[in-house]
Structure 1
Amino acid sequence: MVHHERIQRSGTDNGSEQTERIPLAALNTSVRVRLDGPDERHTRALAESGEFPPILVHRPTMAILDGVHRFHAARLRGETDIAVRFCDEPLETAFVRSVRENVRHGLPLSRSDRAAAAERILAAHPHWSDRSVARAAGLSPRTVADLRKDARSGTDPTHRLGRDGRLRPIDADERRRRAAEILRSEPDASLRRVGRLAGISATTVRDVKRRIDSGQDPIPGRRPGHPEFPPPRGGPQTIDPADFPALVKRLCNEPSLRHSADGRLLLRLLDLHLAAQRSSARIASVVPAHQIATVAVVAARCRQIWQEMAAGFEHTRLGLDEKAAADNR
């Protein structure tokens, strides 16, 4: 924990965030949004100007999220402290905020800076939609889609999280399959409602319904019983714990999870773990040396939470198996 000396509170700034004066020596510039670092001309211009707004700092790491030029300008002036607003979000979430702040005002980010920021956001939040990433990085959705395509691997998430907080399938076939599942579980649901839940138009829902009623596959060009179809619910399923992406995909195909708030939360958590599995080396490389022990403790606690959840699920499964055995006697 960093000891803040000479802290002076000066009311609030930017809503409910309080402004404090923090020693320059307590801050660091480990979060880099600009590939080439701060611009010297802009720094000198700021140093010769009057008082500037508070900078934004990530409290857990004391990294500057927005205001690196103001930080260097204050040092150039010979000042020893600076006005600060704190952010307590997780670092990758804070990075998104840093990009947004830098895109919104001050010295414009270059296209290379924004593209690099978008790539980092995609690596940390692969479930975000192209539009959400584009909005954060100041790029077009088409540019983000191209960046995603370049970085795509075999373990890409099967769903993306939109700006409205809802998970949506990536491909059209998955949307049709989802619509078919909803139609089977809610036969009286309107075409508009099914389309809204599945992320497709009412016209497409009508075609899915027509194909189901005529005994056809809901996805054109495929036959019922195609190997890509998920196994019937309740039927035998082989579970290979090593095939984590496939298991997550199976859960993402479960309507009962997608149609409840807690279920969607579970799917988002699992999608984040997929991203962590792919990017573990890069994540480890950005942790500052003085925070490695803290991250290790937090990671161990996360593992314990999942182990406790696993034990609860196993207990429930055994109870259901015992009940089924009793019913069959």
Structure 2
Amino acid sequence: MMHTGNTGDVRDHLLGWLLPDGDPAGSFAQQDVERFCWYELPVKWAAEPAEYPHILAALAELLNDADRPRAAAVCTSAATLAILDAWQRTSEEGRAAFRQAVDASPVTPPDTALLAWGPVMGIDEAVARSNASRMLEQALDDSVLVPSARGYATARTLHLERWLTTPHPAHDGQAPLDAIHSERRCAWAEAPPAARRRLRSRLANLLATAPEVHDNAAEPLRWLLESAGDGVALTQAGYLPRALVVEAADRYDWYLPGMVPRTETVTILMEDTVFRVLDGDVELSTHARTSDKPIRQFKAVARTRE
């Protein structure tokens, strides 16, 4: 149990806990203050609930003295009191309230179209997320981002995305986004079992470069949907009609060497010396006739033309 009668002792304990490397009080990050008030105080500190107000007041005083009023306000906020009450009821309620408050915090980096933060992070991603939180906090302090302003959520996301795609010294000059993606690829490639690890290691570098996608990549699909209109009659075997397949193959040069679109039935012409296998008017293959006897059944194997 921690005795909180001496405010000076409490402040020293707080500094040692929140700034173990001896950094000045002005280097407090709001994300660290939130984590302390909402999780570490009720879960990890040897203090009774009756002592919480004194501890939080000492921390708020420490932060105000360091000219950190935004972080100081967290200590005495209604949200903090509600979270501490939730922890006293059950750990499940406390944890849920803590997570909800973190998600709602203006210094928590949101997911964006460029990046969804992982539930389990590697070192690069954890460092990037911490630095992103500090960046958002600085933007709030400088009034670059104003939570009450119209379009705040969009501005916050754009501000974060610009930061994610700008080289940062914490990642050896890489953009944080690139460092995170590289770390995730390595973790994926190196995961067991060994057989898959060997296969994935060959693919990891290929994933580093996004494939080139042409602007009209979806045009064939649009054409097919427009050609189908309200529907087309499928063949007996359930395939697209041959005329539509031929048109698509001609339009987009989808033929493979020696191949043509086929139907489910073919015509076999029996001549004196050969059998000719036709798909409509197209000759698929020719086979030597080795017997003059009447033919009741013949299996024709297509030969690909060179």
TM-score range, shorter chain: under 0.3
Larger relative contact order (CA 8 Å, sep ≥ 6):
1
**Greater gyration radius:** 2
